[in-house]
Amino acid sequence: MTLLDALTGPVEAAARALLGCRLTVGPVTVRLTEVEAYSGTGEDPASHAHRGRTPRNAIMFGPAGYAYVYFTYGMHYCLNVVTGTEGTASAVLLRAGEVVAGLERARSRRPTARTDAELARGPARLCTTLAIDRSFYGTYLLEGHLSAPAAPPGPISTGPRVGVTGAHDLPWRYWLTDDPTVSEYRRHTPRLRKI
C-alpha cells in the first residue's frame, strides 16, 4: 500500500499511517511523532469543515495529499494533511516531530527551545521549525515533501484530542509511544464569561 492509498482511506487510518513519515521543507526534515484526526462535515464538531465548505477550509474537501495550513490565535500556523476521498472533508493535524535533518537551521528558527526534542513539539512549533506559513497552503505534499517510513515506526498510543471544545474526548490523537518529542496533553478549558 502506498502513502497515497493510506491517505485516501478513513481519517483514523490515515492518521496512523502518517506516524513515522518524514516531512521535508527546504533544508529541514522532521519525522512525525504525533498527529490528530479531524473528520468532515456534520460528524465532527471540532473539524474546520463541520459547518461546510468555506474559502478557508476548501482544500479539506480533497483530493488527499495536499497541505491545509491555517493561522490560529492571531500568531501561529498549523499544518494538516488532507485525507479521504475527494468531496468529503477530512484532514490530519501534524502535532509534533523529531528533527532528523537540518538541525542547525531548525535551532536557528527556534532559539528558545531548551532541547532538540522541543524544536517541533506542538503544531505551531513544528511549523516554525519547518518555516511553514500560509504560502504553503495547497502544496501537494507527496511530491518532494512527505515520504513514508522505511519500516513501521513502533508502538502507537491513542487518546483525546488537544484543546478542542467539540468532541474533545474522541480518541483521535495518535502518537509514537514514549517518544520524547510528543507534546503534553492539555484538555480544553472553557472560558467563563462574566455577566
More confident residue, 56 or 64: 64
The domain limits of the chain are 3-176
User: Tens digit of pLDDT for each residue in 96-126?
Assistant: 999 999 999 999 999 999 999 999 999 999 9
Least confident of 19-23, 46-50, 122-126, 135-139: 46-50
pLDDT at 112: 95
Least confident of 26-40, 46-60, 78-92: 46-60
Least confident of 18-22, 41-45, 75-79: 41-45
Average pLDDT over residues 25-29: 97
Q: Looking at domain 3-176, does it have CATH number 3.50.50.60?
A: no
User: Tens digit of pLDDT for each residue in 32-56?
Assistant: 999 999 887 667 766 667 677 787 8
Least confident of 11-15, 32-36, 51-55, 69-73: 51-55
Average pLDDT over residues 68-91: 90
pLDDT at 80: 96
In the chain, alpha helices (H): 3-7, 11-18, 103-109, 123-130
pLDDT at residue 72 greater than cutoff 60 = yes
Question: What count of residues does the chain have?
Answer: 195
More confident residue, 167 or 189: 167
The CA distance from 74 to 94, in Å, is 19
pLDDT at 189: 57
Q: In this structure, are strands 120-121 and 28-38 parallel, antiparallel, or unpaired?
A: unpaired
Contact 134, 69 (CB under 8 A): yes
More confident residue, 188 or 155: 155
pLDDT at 41: 65
3-state secondary structure of 156: strand
Percentage of the chain lying above the pLDDT 90 cut:
65
pLDDT at 191: 57
User: Residues near 58 by Cβ (< 8 Å), separated by ≥ 6?
Assistant: none
